[in-house]
Amino acid sequence: MDLIPFSLRDRKTFQEYLKNSPRSLSNYSFENNFIWGSLFELRRAVVNNRLCIFFQDEVGIFMNLPPLGGLDKKAVGACFEAMEEINHNKDISRIENIEEGDLGFFKKNGFKVYEKAKEYIVTTANIAFLSGERFKHKRSLYNHFVKNYMVPEGCKARAARFRDYQSQDREAVMELYQKWMKGRMEKNSDPIYQAMLVDSFKVLSLMLAHSEELELTIKVVECEGRMIALSSGFPISERLFCVNFEIADLEFRGVSQFVFSEFAKTLASYRELNIMDDSGIENIRKTKLSYRPSRVIASYTALLA
């Protein structure tokens, strides 16, 4: 199999192969594949009229999602052959981010399958308005931020602003992430979690560098001359939008709830928001659940038996 680089030029091709099979997992989007190019070499091939995308690093090569254009035994078989030529290790050669509706194909064809993660889907209107008893605490934090920072007494010129991200904000956003990351690392010493934070820094950097070409939706909050929050994302389908980054300076009480809610207000045309997985971290899982998901979607990984 001839593997060639996967780049921004492949965006239209990716979307063409995907358009007839709408999905819910965040990886079924060009944007969420491209930005991982900060950590992996991305490759592609067309096999039996299916688009196959591969991620490779020093450990080996794998597929971040099944072939696009419909599951096909010949294409999947060829992909595993190509991966094994490089890996020579069945535990590395794999297809990730398989949705539940496709499990039957992999089980029927003799692959080992296991659950990898769960992604959380919330109702956009719930986040936008934080209505009802379920969101009482988050609404209180939102209101605290508005009262204390949107129009600070005697300091209106320096009040917090929610606005579109601009390219000149990049350095300030990266500094915000580093501050946010430092706080997270101080609270959680787990080496895997800390490595994930470092990886996300690299992913964010690449994403911001190409935000215009990717046509991402990015909003920021600035206050007192400082960047204090960011929310970003991209569509998965006409009804579902993925929020892939949300970072905030927690010195400003309520800013997390404020930026998420305001971001959701700008996304009213989407019925739901995918707020991604919890990375296996209990505190992240609790935070995701606190936004009362309307559904939770499992993703699966397939390996050679």
Rounded to 5 degrees, what angle do the CA atoms 248, 243, 8 make?
110
Judged on CB neighbours under 10 Å (0-12, 13-18, 19+), 234 is: buried
Q: How many CB atoms lie within 10 A of CB 292?
A: 15
Let me know: does 107 contact 87? Beta carbons within 8 Å. Answer: no
The per-residue pLDDT for 152 is 58
Nearest to 259 by CA among 176, 202, 184, 157: 176
What pLDDT, on the 0 to 100 scale, is given for residue 279? 85
- d(CA 230, CA 205) in angstroms, rounded, equals 13
pLDDT for res 86:
97
At 11 the pLDDT is 96
- Specify the DSSP class assigned to residue 292: -
**Sequence-separated (6 or more) residues with CB below 8 Å from residue 129:** 261
Question: What's the pLDDT score for residue 20?
Answer: 72
Task: Give the separation between CA 116 and CA 221, rounded to whole angstroms.
Answer: 34
Give the span between the Cα atoms of 109 and 103, in whole angstroms.
Answer: 10
Residues 177 and 197: their CA atoms lie apart, in Å, by: 9
Measured torsion, CA atoms of residues 198, 34, 29, 213, in degrees rounded to the nearest 10:
110
Alpha-helix residue ranges (DSSP H) falling in the chain: 11-18, 30-34, 73-87, 103-108, 124-129, 136-145, 170-187, 191-209, 211-214, 255-265, 282-290
pLDDT in tens, the chain (305 residues): 899 999 999 999 999 999 877 799 999 999 999 999 999 999 999 999 999 999 999 999 999 999 999 999 999 999 999 999 999 999 999 999 999 999 999 999 999 999 999 999 999 999 999 999 999 999 999 999 999 998 755 455 568 999 999 999 999 999 999 999 999 999 888 898 999 999 999 999 999 999 999 999 999 999 988 999 999 999 999 999 999 999 999 999 999 999 999 999 999 999 999 999 998 888 889 999 999 999 999 999 999 99
Domains of the chain: 4-118 (3.40.630.30), 120-297 (3.40.630.30)
Model pLDDT, residue 1: 87
